[in-house]
Structure 1
Amino acid sequence: MPQSSRPVEQGRTIVITGAGTGIGRATARLLLSQGWNVALAGRTKTTLEETAQSHSSALVHPADVTDPGAVDKLFSAAQHRFGTVDVLFNNAGIFGPSVSIDELSPEQWDQVCQINLTGAINAARSAFAHFKANGGGRIINNGSISAQVPRVNSVAYTVTKHGIAGLTKALELDGRPHRIRATQVDIGNTASDLLDDFGANNGALQPSGQRIVEPTFPLEQAAEAIAYIAGVPLGTSINQFTITAGGMPYIGRG
C-alpha cells in the first residue's frame, strides 16, 4: 500500500462506511498503515474483518447506514474506543439497476435512495452532531462522476449522487460556525466491483449506443486522494475533488 510522507497527528480517528470492499477497504487499509484509528462500518462483519486484518487500531462495527439508530451507535462505539472522531468518510453506496426511468420499479428506486442518500444523510447527521460537540471535524462524501454528468441508464444512481452534491454544500455551509468542513469526492472508474454493476468491464454503454471497455485506475490511488483530504487541517476547506482514470469518457460521457 502506498505511504504518505506527511505525518499523521497522534490519535486521529476516521469512521468509514462501506469499509468492507472497494474504495472503503483500500482507504481503511491505507489510513491504518499511516497511523490512523479507523472505525470500519458495513453490513457484513466478515468483510470488515478482512479489511481490518486484525490491526490494533481498527474497530470493526457492523452497521446498516439506512438505520439511523445503528449509525448513532457506530459513532458512540468509535468515541468509546478512540476518545473522539475527526473525520467521516461517507462511502457506502450501490449502483442499482442499469435501466431507463420507465423500467425502474418503485422498489428499486427506494433501495438505491435508502442506501445512497438516506444512508449518507444518517451518517452525516451523526458526524455533524459529534463534530459540533467536539470542536469540529471533516465529512468526506463519496459522490461520483455521475454527480456531475450521468451515465446512460443510470437514473437512480445519478439522482442520488446529485443529492450528495447538495448534501455536501449544505454541510459545508451549516458547518461553517462549528469548524465542520465537507468535501465531495467524485471518483471515476476505479478498478472495483462497481464497474461490473454497469457492465464497464465488458463494455460500458455510451450515449452513441456503442459499448466500449473504459480505462480504469487502481483503488489505491483513489485511497491516496481521500487520505490526503482527511489529513488536511480544518483551517482549509476542500469543497470538491474529482479524480478519474486517464482517458475515460467524462465530459459529455462520450
Structure 2
Amino acid sequence: MSVNASGPGRSVIVTGAGSGIGRATALLFAREGARVLIADVADAAARSVAEEVERAGGTAVTVIGDLRDQAVVDRVAETAAEEFGGIDVLVNNAGVMDSMSAAADTGDDEWERVIGINLTAPFRLTRAVLPHMLAAGKGAVVFTASEASLRGSAAGAAYTASKHGITGLTKSLAVMYRDKGIRSNAVAPGGTVTNIRVDADRGAHGPAAHGPAALAPYMGNVGSPAQAEEQAAAIVFLASDAASNINGAILPVDNGWSAV
C-alpha cells in the first residue's frame, strides 16, 4: 500500500513504538520511506525498533522517557522538528491497561497512572506538535483509542475513562483545526496480540462482581484477535492522503466486536 502522507520524506512521530502496535506502525511507515521518531519508555526496545526501521529503508531517531514528563514531551517534538525539518504525522499510541476495576475499587495511584499515560500525555504531545503543523499548514494526528472508548464493558473505570477522553480529544481537534489543514482521527482496536499486560486480580480490588467477573459476560463478543500489523495498516491509512477527507473519525478495528 503506497500512501503519500507516509511516503518518502514525510516525518512521523510514533509513541509507544518499542513494541506491539507502535512497533508495527513505525515499521510500516518506514517501508513507505518515512522518517520516524521512535518514542518509548524502554530504551533497549526503542533502539531495537529503530534498527528495524533503518533496515526497512526508513530513517529513525529515538527519544526515551516517560511521556507524563513535560520535558520528555518537549524533547520529542523538538527532536522531530530539528532532525526532520518538520512534523507531518503524530501517532499517539502509547498506553497502558488498568486492572479491570470498577470505580469504587479504583485507587488514586491506578487512576492517575492510567489517565496520565493514556490521556494527558497524548494531549500534551499533540499540543507541542501543533505549532509545527500549523506553521506548515498541514498535518495528521492519529490516536490509538480502544474498544473501551466505544462502550463501558471492555475494561475498568480508569482505562475506559481514558479512552473515552481520547475520542473526545480526537473530535475536538478535528473541529478546531479542520480549516488549518490538520486532520485528527483514531483507531479503536479490539482484541490485539501485543505485550500489553492486564493485572486483573479479582481479590485485590473488592468483590469479584465489581471487576473482571462483571465484564466477563461481554467478553465473548471479542472474536478473533487482530495482529498488530492490522492495526498499523489502519493507522497509516488514516495518516495518508488517501484519507484526506476523513477527519474526526473513530475507526473500529475489532473484527465486528463494536457491531454486536
* TM-score normalised over the length of structure 2: 0.84
Which deviates the most, 34-43 or 8-17? 8-17
Give, in whole Å, the separation in 1 of the partners of 2:132 and 2:144: 20
1:235 CA displacement: 4.6
1:197-219 Cα offsets, whole Å, 9 max, x none, are 167xxxx7574648758521211
Higher relative contact order (CA 8 A, sep 6+): 2
| Matched-pair contact (CA < 8 Å) for 2:12–2:37 | yes
1:51-91 Cα offsets, whole Å, 9 max, x none, are 12251501111132112222122111111111111000011
Structure 2 equivalent of residue 230 of structure 1: 239
Structure 1 equivalent of residue 76 of structure 2: 74
| Matched-pair contact (CA < 8 Å) for 1:152–1:205 | no
| Matched-pair contact (CA < 8 Å) for 2:154–2:160 | no
| Matched-pair contact (CA < 8 Å) for 1:26–1:223 | yes
| Matched-pair contact (CA < 8 Å) for 1:149–1:251 | no
The residue correspondences of 1:112-123 to structure 2 (distance < 5 A) are 112-123=114-125
Structure 1 equivalent of residue 204 of structure 2: none
Which residue identity is paired with 2:108? P
1:152 CA displacement: 5.4
Structure 1 equivalent of residue 16 of structure 2: 18
Give, in whole Å, the separation in 2 of the partners of 1:6 and 1:210: 37
Give, in whole Å, the separation in 1 of the partners of 2:65 and 2:232: 22
| Matched-pair contact (CA < 8 Å) for 1:19–1:41 | yes
Structure 1 equivalent of residue 208 of structure 2: none
Are 1:99 and 2:138 counterparts?
A: no
Which deviates the most, 20-29 or 125-134? 125-134
| Matched-pair contact (CA < 8 Å) for 1:131–1:180 | yes
Superposed CA RMSD: 2.4
1:95 CA displacement: 0.9
Give, in whole Å, the separation in 1 of the partners of 2:44 and 2:127: 27
Structure 2 equivalent of residue 176 of structure 1: 178
Which residue identity is paired with 1:101? A
| Matched-pair contact (CA < 8 Å) for 1:222–1:243 | no
1:177 CA displacement: 3.0
Give, in whole Å, the separation in 1 of the partners of 2:17 and 2:127: 19
Q: Per residue, is there more helix in 1 or in 2? A: 2
Structure 2 equivalent of residue 158 of structure 1: 160
Give, in whole Å, the separation in 2 of the partners of 1:231 and 1:152: 29
Give, in whole Å, the separation in 2 of the partners of 1:211 and 1:9: 38
* TM-score normalised over the length of structure 1: 0.86
Structure 1 equivalent of residue 26 of structure 2: 28
Counting aligned pairs with the same residue, the percent is 29
The residue correspondences of 1:1-254 to structure 2 (distance < 5 A) are 4-6=1-3, 9-53=7-51, 55=54, 57-151=59-153, 154-194=156-196, 196-197=197-198, 207=215, 209=217, 212=220, 214-232=223-241, 235-246=244-255, 248=257, 250-251=258-259
Q: Which stretches in structure 1 are left out of the alignment for 5+ residues?
A: none
Partner of 1:59, secondary structure, is strand
| Matched-pair contact (CA < 8 Å) for 2:167–2:250 | no
Give, in whole Å, the separation in 2 of the partners of 1:187 and 1:211: 14
| Matched-pair contact (CA < 8 Å) for 2:3–2:241 | no
